[in-house]
Amino acid sequence: MKLAANDPTLNVKVKTRSKRKGGYPPWTDEDMAKFEVAMFSDSVVSRATRDAMWTSQKTSDGKETGYALGWGTGKELGVIDVSHGGGQQGTSTFIMMIPERRAGVVVLMNIDGADSSGLAKELMKILLGAEK
């Protein structure tokens, strides 16, 4: 099928403002920060459930995968961290938490393909440095 130059399907504009993260409500950075606080205070899920969600899965030979139940896990900054990133056309997002320090950062960017995880890690370094 060949489209004519004036066909309206060639003129579609993407409205990212109306898009929702993974089908969820359009949360703000403040909402995401409140979510972090709620996760740390065990008001979203129980501590046992949270710990299970944030425990790295293991391969059949016992090696950690670095991936828990929907969360990435690591120790890149010298302490155990959990994180989750996402994005779609026009957005890049990342949430990162350090459970033992009850510290978290949220990065919401209005550009797709941006290094939101890198920015989150740099912000977390600053936050952890400020705690010393």
Q: What is the pLDDT of residues 30-40, one digit of tens each?
A: 888 999 999 99
Q: What is the pLDDT of residues 79-102, one digit of tens each?
A: 999 999 988 888 889 999 999 999
Contact 104, 96 (CB under 8 A): yes
User: Long-range contact list for 85-88, CB < 8 A, 24+ apart?
Assistant: 85/116, 85/117, 86/21, 86/22, 87/112, 87/113, 87/114, 87/116, 88/16, 88/19, 88/21, 88/112
Bridge pairing between strands 91-98 and 103-109: antiparallel
For the chain, the average pLDDT equals: 83
pLDDT at 25 over 80: no
Contact 107, 115 (CB under 8 A): no
- CA quadruple 33, 34, 37, 42: dihedral positive or negative? negative
What average pLDDT does the segment 19-43 reach? 78
At 11, the pLDDT band (50, 70, 90 cuts) reads very low
pLDDT score for 103: 95
* Distance of alpha carbon 89 from alpha carbon 76, whole angstroms: 28
